Amino acid sequence: MTQTLTVQDIEVLIDGQGPTVVMLHGWPDSPALWDESVAALRDGYRCVRFALPGYDLGRPPRPVSVDQMCQLVAAIVDEVSPDQKVTLMLHDWGCFFGYEYAARHTDRVSRVVAADIGDTNTGAYLKSLTAKEKAMIAGYQLWLAVAWKLGPLLPGLANRMTRWMARTIGCRTPAAEIAWQMNYPYAMQWFGTLGGLRGVARVDKVFGPTLPTLFFFGKRKPFMFHSARWLAQLATTPGSAAHGLDAGHWLMKQKPEQFNRTVRDWLDRAHAAT
């Protein structure tokens, strides 16, 4: 049975027994993103998940800064696994926030499973993008950032903008479960809201070199969120690996058996070696 606890007014769901795996979703999702992964892991791992602040539509909007998000993740990790390191399992903005938490707290994280967001804050990644790809990324992200700005004044319009973009880029989350209040990370990135995203750790300096990392990416996408250099780094770093799946951005939903089997095998091998 699923256990629940509350940390900083966030409901935390816990399933299974064993080493702890803390799961962070991204935009515009919920803990349900990990349903199939929990089913695949719960007989050997303790799966912990929660809605990012502001993503529980039953509660008021709750945008948080990078520092505040890292403090929340730290509080949850310390509550659910006070004496043992955890594995992080991340997707989309969950990658960004999870990476930063892990970079600040390498003593609390043993390894990382990350999906579809890689070394986006490196020069290698930026150089890998064509002008068209940069325009596509800026277009959808600015649209969502503007929707967040409009939300307090014109929530109906902001919701329609947000749901239209989610549908346009292939998101499978039901429209009724998507709202403008989820968009604050894009306002942070483009408008510097809540202190922006400056000063975060270089992903390629931590994940692989310091923390073993299993990285997945979807091959069927108009642009990527990682560089070829980072894939090569992971492929040649003992304990780390990278896998491309015949899927889009939500690969754990599009290829659940392949994704979860690879995760389970990697975690099992890592724990057998310790």
Q: What span, in angstroms and rounded, lies between the C-alpha atoms of 119 and 99? A: 10
User: For residue 40, what pLDDT is reported?
Assistant: 98
Q: For tokens 């270089």, what's the residue?
A: 202
Q: What span, in angstroms and rounded, lies between the C-alpha atoms of 195 and 189? A: 9
Q: Quick one: CA torsion of 40, 46, 52, 55, rounded to 10 degrees?
A: 50
Q: Report strand pairing: 3-7 vs 241-245.
A: unpaired
Q: What span, in angstroms and rounded, lies between the C-alpha atoms of 26 and 120? A: 15
pLDDT tens-digit series, residues 37-93: 999 999 999 999 999 999 999 999 999 999 999 999 999 999 999 999 999 999 999
pTM listed for this prediction: 0.97
Strand, helix or coil at 241? strand
pLDDT tens-digit series, residues 211-256: 999 999 999 999 999 999 999 999 999 999 999 999 999 999 999 9
Tokens of 186: 């894009």
Q: Which of 84, 74, 20 is nearest to 47 (CA)?
A: 20
User: For residue 1, what pLDDT is reported?
Assistant: 86
User: For residue 273, what pLDDT is reported?
Assistant: 87
Q: Which of 201, 251, 193 is nearest to 54 (CA)?
A: 193
Express the helix, strand and coil content of the chain in percent, nearest 5 each: 50, 15, 35
Tokens of 257: 């058996």
Res. 33: pLDDT tops 90: yes
Q: What span, in angstroms and rounded, lies between the C-alpha atoms of 246 and 255? A: 8
